[in-house]
Amino acid sequence: MDIDLKILRYDPESDRKGHWEYYTVEADPEERILDLLHKIKWFEDGTLSFRRSCAHGVCGSDAMVINGENMLACQVLVKEVSNPITIEPIRGLPVVKDLIVDMDPFFDSYKKIMPYLINENEPGERERLQSPEDRDKIEDTTKCILCAACTTSCPVFWTADSYIGPAAIVNAHRFIYDSRDEGSKQRLEILKDVNGAFRCRTAFNCTSACPRGIQVTKAIEDVKRETLLNN
């Protein structure tokens, strides 16, 4: 079947602002949106630029806005979206070219929350013990692939890019709730900041945007509660 695509293009070397370009490609209903983008790039217009790698939703490269919603292009099939398909870069981060945005501010926020295990005690020769119940507390938030679909779906982030954003808070949650970690106090202090967790207005966009099904808003609420308890 023929699929029509409308893609927001921007070439910093020749365009002053973004413009729409229209393509028609033949596709099976089972194909991924990423496959359609590849068909255009490989057989029609090699200038179309986007990030991708694993092509099955685990590397987090190809978050984009598809028919108005944040998704991974490799995780959505043609038959799941209505034709024509509109594709835009994720919002709130500077567009570099076509569907590629500058991810550095996103990773900078991630690095701010000290995303690593903090525990000064000598762990000994064998593994630290952790009960299955304790391990379960971080099951959801350890799934994060840092694709930025959540952060760039957040209306607060769109208007104030100083907001640390859902993804950073999810990764803080992953350590705050890890029974082996002892850095919660420091992280909660960071998240108490004016640009921290309390900027969240529980719009739930992040939860619907997460391609890994993480309960992002719930994680943010957990962190807010811990912040209050920590005071």
Distances from the Cα of 175 to the Cα of 1, 182, 216, 221, 223, angstroms: 47, 9, 15, 15, 11
Taking residues 162 to 191 in sequence order and writing x for each that binds other proteins by CB under 8 A, - otherwise, the string is -------------x--x-xx----------
Residue 96 binds other proteins, judged by CB under 8 A: yes
Nearer to other proteins, 19 or 128 (CB): 128
Nearer to other proteins, 2 or 13 (CB): 13
Nearer to other proteins, 112 or 199 (CB): 112
Residue 19 binds other proteins, judged by CB under 8 A: no
Residue 12 binds other proteins, judged by CB under 8 A: yes
> Which residue from 6, 97, 192, 218 is in contact with other proteins, where contact means CB under 8 A?
97
Nearer to other proteins, 8 or 100 (CB): 100
Task: Give the C-alpha separation, 77 to 59, whole Å.
Answer: 18
Nearer to other proteins, 39 or 160 (CB): 39
Contacts with other proteins, residue ranges (CB under 8 A): 11-14, 30, 32, 38, 41-43, 45-47, 49-61, 75, 77, 96-98, 100, 103, 107, 111, 114-117, 123, 125-132, 134-135, 138-139, 142-143, 145-146, 175, 178, 180-181, 213
